[in-house]
Amino acid sequence: MSYRLNQSLSTSQTNRLTTDISSVIGIVVDNILDDTHPRVKEGTSYENVESLRTDLIGSSIIRPVTDSITPQSSLKSYKPINSSMIEMPLIGEMVELIKSAGTTYYKRIPNSNINVGNAIENRDTDTFDEEKSNKSDDYSTVSSTGISNTENSDSRNTKIGEYFKPTQINPLRLYEGDKIIQSRFGQSIRFSAYNNPENTTSPTIIIRNRQNDESVSNLKEGSLTEENVNKDGSTIILSSNDYKLDYQPGLIDDGGSSNFKTTPINFELPSEYVGQDQILINSERIILSSKSREMIFFSKGDYGFISDGSFKIDNGEGGADLDFGDDVNITTDRNSGNFFVNTGDGNILLNTTETEEPLVRGNTLVELLEELIDAINKQVYNTPAGPTAPGPTNRADFNTIKSKLKDALSTLNFTE
């Protein structure tokens, strides 16, 4: 009974949608992108912010193909079918006008050219001949520019946007069950589970900000591509199971070589990034910022910092507390690297919290001992028989000790 009820409800809903939703094709004449558009300010002074028609922002002014006489200034504006996921069309782009529940919305028409869609430069937007719109020549694309041709392209001097520039963007290869969001600028979000060599269930999310230049240059327009974590723009990957991160640090050239030079000595990198839940963030610059509270890092395993550059921490306030449960090894450049500890006017306390037992200054101690030996060598004792000769009889032994005093000075470690 539940199945029949669901079927009945589904049929009823389908019938209702069939009667409530209708669509026609229209061509975009203008877009309302911000509050500087004349229609947003129409009928009010710009200074009167509360009276601005900001609800029109995100709308497009569209001429239905059935309307060839209405002046452009009198054409209606239409809001997107999904206001929570706006996909702005271009001027000269054909869209679908969908009437739902008494209101008409616009929806972009899918096209193999992800970047410009079916938009055409110099398309006649004052009048629109529906018969011409059905001709295949109206949709033909010039492969070198990605801009479509039209019979009446000389009738106007209309660009597809004020600053929009047509570029090549290649569609992503699909795997069974994928959900993909692709923008006309090469950004994409992929929800997948089978995009791995074994096609096993490995839920993965890939967020990519830009298609890499190499693939744009090497691929023909319309050819399929796939995300490249090493060469695409900023990328975030949340992967699992059998999805393998083919990650290399640094910038990767056309031959697949990296400019990253440092080889880890103490930290052991995994042989391959696969087989578990992983998150990778890869970009030319990464900024992490905590505006008002803590920044906390937890790691059940080892954590490593591997860099071709220097490691710097500027901690303005609060000092630092470091607690290590085992040995601490600090190695600088084995040829000439220095290790500096500078506390200003503060103290360096080694295995103590008190200042009762200060360290000895090496050079100062050597000078004092030299003076002591010199004084010993000059000793003269008064006896009943008169003063003795200067110095002890084993003066040579004292001089030998004096010559070795500087051996006590370290050649690598220094203090103030």
Q: How many C-beta atoms lie closer than 10 Å to residue 410's C-beta?
A: 8
46/410: higher pLDDT: 410
Residue 331 tokens read as 């190695």
Look at residue 280 and tell me whether its pLDDT is greater than 80. Answer: yes
- Tell me: the pLDDT tens digits for 215-239? 999 999 889 999 999 999 999 999 9
Look at residue 255 and tell me whether its pLDDT is greater than 60. Answer: yes
- 5 — pLDDT class (breaks 50, 70, 90): very low
Q: What is the CA radius of gyration of the chain?
A: 39
Mean pLDDT lowest for which of 83-97, 193-207, 333-347?
333-347
Residue 307 tokens read as 């860099």
Amino acid at 198: E
Helices 395-403 and 362-377, axial angle in degrees (round to 10): 170
Mean pLDDT, the chain, integer: 83
| Residue 137 confidence (pLDDT) | 41
Q: How many C-beta atoms lie closer than 10 Å to residue 130's C-beta?
A: 13
| Residue 132 confidence (pLDDT) | 45
Dihedral, 314, 317, 323, 328 alpha carbons, nearest 10:
30
**What gap in Å lies between CA 12 and CA 6, rounded to an integer?**
10
**What gap in Å lies between CA 70 and CA 126, rounded to an integer?**
8
**What gap in Å lies between CA 286 and CA 294, rounded to an integer?**
18
- Tell me: the pLDDT tens digits for 153-187? 344 557 888 899 999 999 999 999 999 999 999 99
| Inter-CA distances, 247 with 92, 276, 335, Å | 41, 15, 32
The mean per-residue pLDDT over the stretch 382-391 comes to 80
| Residue 47 confidence (pLDDT) | 54
Which of 107, 97, 93, 92 has its CA nearest to residue 64? 97
Residue 282 tokens read as 């890869």
Burial 324-349 (b: 16+ CB within 10 A, else e): eeeeeeeeeeeeeeeeeeeeeeeeee
Strands 204-208 and 22-31: unpaired
Residues 6+ apart with CB under 8 A from 170: 114, 211, 215, 216, 219, 221, 222, 223, 224, 225
Look at residue 326 and tell me whether its pLDDT is greater than 50. Answer: yes
Residue corresponding to tokens 């929009």: 164
| Residue 22 confidence (pLDDT) | 67
What's the residue count for the chain?
A: 416
Amino acid at 31: N
**What gap in Å lies between CA 237 and CA 196, rounded to an integer?**
13
- Tell me: the pLDDT tens digits for 351-383? 888 888 788 888 888 888 888 888 888 887 778
Stated pTM of the model = 0.75
**Residue 173 DSSP class:** P
How crowded is the C-beta side of 54, counted as CA atoms within 13 Å? Answer: 7
Phi and psi at residue 130, in whole multiples of 5°? -60, -30
Residues 6+ apart with CB under 8 A from 233: 186, 208, 209, 210, 211, 212, 283
For 314-368, give the DSSP string. ---SS------SS-------TTT-------TTS---SS-S-SSSPPPPHHHHHHH
- 397 — pLDDT class (breaks 50, 70, 90): confident
Residue corresponding to tokens 């609060």: 318
